Amino acid sequence: MSSLQPVRGTHDLLPEEMRRHRAVIERARELAERYGYLEMATPIFEFTEVFKRTLGDTSDVVTKEMYTFAMKEGEEITLRPENTAGVARAFISNGLQHSLPVKFFYAGPMFRHERPQKGRQRQFHQIGVELLGVPGPLGDIEIIALGQHILEALGLADLIRLELNTLGDPESRKAYRAALVSYFSGYRERLSADSRDRLERNPLRILDSKDEGDRELIAEAPLFEEYLNPTSRDFFARVREGLDALGISYHLNSRLVRGLDYYSHTAFEFTTDALGAQGTVMGGGRYDGLIETMGGPPTPGVGWAAGIERLALLLADPPPAPRPIAVVPVGEEAERQGLFLTQRLRREGFAVELGYSGSVKKRMRRANSLNARYALLLGEDELAQGVVSLRDLDSGEQETVSLDALSDRLRRES
Q: What is the pLDDT of residues 281-336, one digit of tens each?
A: 999 999 998 999 899 999 999 999 999 999 999 998 877 888 999 999 988 899 89
Residue 105 contacts residue 38 (beta carbons within 8 Å): yes
Most confident of 189-203, 354-368, 376-390: 376-390
Residue 46 contacts residue 172 (beta carbons within 8 Å): no
Q: Which pLDDT band holds residue 279 (cuts at 50, 70, 90)?
A: confident
Classify strands 123-132 and 301-307 as parallel, antiparallel or unpaired: antiparallel
pLDDT at residue 58 greater than cutoff 70: no
Looking at domain 325-411, does it have CATH number 2.160.10.10? no
* Among the listed residues 99, 100, 103, 105, the one whose alpha carbon sits nearest the alpha carbon of residue 131: 103
| pLDDT at residue 63, rounded to an integer | 60
Give CA separation, 130 vs 78, 104, 127, 281, 381, in Å: 21, 5, 11, 17, 61
| pLDDT at residue 222, rounded to an integer | 92
pLDDT at residue 17 greater than cutoff 60: yes
| pLDDT at residue 56, rounded to an integer | 63
* Percent of the chain whose predicted confidence (pLDDT) is above 90: 66
Higher pLDDT, 359 or 192: 192
d(CA 265, CA 283): 14
Residue 221 contacts residue 203 (beta carbons within 8 Å): no
pLDDT at residue 2 greater than cutoff 60: no
- Mean per-residue pLDDT over the chain, rounded: 90
List the CATH code of the domain at 15-169+229-314. Answer: 3.30.930.10
| pLDDT at residue 278, rounded to an integer | 59
| pLDDT at residue 201, rounded to an integer | 80
Q: What would the mean pLDDT of 195-200 be, rounded to a whole number?
A: 86
Global pTM reads 0.88
What are 214-246's pLDDT values in tens digits? 999 999 999 988 999 999 999 999 999 999 999
pLDDT at residue 59 greater than cutoff 70: no
Q: What would the mean pLDDT of 368-389 be, rounded to a whole number?
A: 93
204 Cβ neighbours under 8 A, 6+ residues apart: 173, 176, 177, 180, 257, 258, 259
Higher pLDDT, 209 or 229: 229
d(CA 382, CA 403): 9
- For the chain, what are the domain ranges? 15-169+229-314, 325-411
Q: Which pLDDT band holds residue 62 (cuts at 50, 70, 90)?
A: low
